[in-house]
Chains A and B, each alone.
Chain A
């Protein structure tokens, strides 16, 4: 049985929440302590890579519109690139402090993919509102890795980056296939 889209989104929210908690715990204890066990250092990049792989599976098996397919493909590609770059950084293959710029570009691309593929206005339905909200959250959050690339020692950017994923998880958990927003649901949203 194929799960409903909202259920797939809640699964994704759980992965994103775990990812955010891992990043947040690194901020709290400090990178040095966090990376004392090697597997922990590889955990977040590996999650991104595995998440990207699953997103590609969804793209390959999808039956939704071309716009949705392209957006999921963008998220899949960005997750894999970000995971690969972060793995190389943790492994010591990439040493420049400017590598977070790749993550910043990735978040920007993900945010724009959300905003562009949602063709309904903000208050059309809860799903439309969340697409816009997720998109703009990611666009603004791209500033965190950008600032991290410029000021690598400031923990506040790292914390902002980690909290972004907790916020994204909350938004994804709020998703429903068809639900009103503040009591408002467009007459053409379907299901009536």
Chain B
């Protein structure tokens, strides 16, 4: 997500809603900075919490 944010700041002209002249639907929705942030969000919501939980449980198990 952070990568997508940095990219959006570095190349703001790639975000169609900041530069809307002659842009279509795909240009609004499918731009690399937005996609990178979206992938990060999906990973953060679907994968990371379960992994952190299992890792924590694994740590507790090895201590006892």
Residues of B within 8 Å of A7, CB to CB, are: 26, 30
Interface residue B10 (Cβ < 8 Å from any Cβ of A): no
Interface-centre pick from B31, B39, B58 (highest chain A CB count, 10 A): B39
Nearest chain B residue, comparing its CB with the CB of A173:
B32
Interface residue A37 (Cβ < 8 Å from any Cβ of B): yes
Interface flags, A93-109, vs B, CB<8A=1, else 0: 00000000000000000
User: For window 8-64 of chain B, which residues contact chain A by CB distance below 8 Å?
Assistant: 24-26, 30-32, 35-36, 38-39, 42-43, 47-48, 50-51, 54-55, 58
- A14–B39 touching, CB < 8 Å: yes
Interface residue A124 (Cβ < 8 Å from any Cβ of B): no
Number of A-B contacts (CB under 8 A): 53
- B50–A10 touching, CB < 8 Å: no
- A36–B39 touching, CB < 8 Å: no
- A18–B24 touching, CB < 8 Å: no
Shortest Cβ distance from A87 into chain B, in angstroms? Answer: 18
Interface-centre pick from B24, B47, B58 (highest chain A CB count, 10 A): B47
Q: Which residues of B contact A (CB under 8 A)?
A: 24-26, 30-32, 35-36, 38-39, 42-43, 47-48, 50-51, 54-55, 58
Which 10 A-B residue pairs are closest in the complex by CB-CB distance?
A: A173-B32, A14-B35, A36-B54, A17-B39, A7-B30, A18-B39, A7-B26, A21-B43, A33-B54, A33-B58
Q: Which residues of A contact B (CB under 8 A)?
A: 1, 3-4, 7, 10-11, 13-14, 17-18, 21-22, 25, 29, 32-34, 36-37, 40, 173
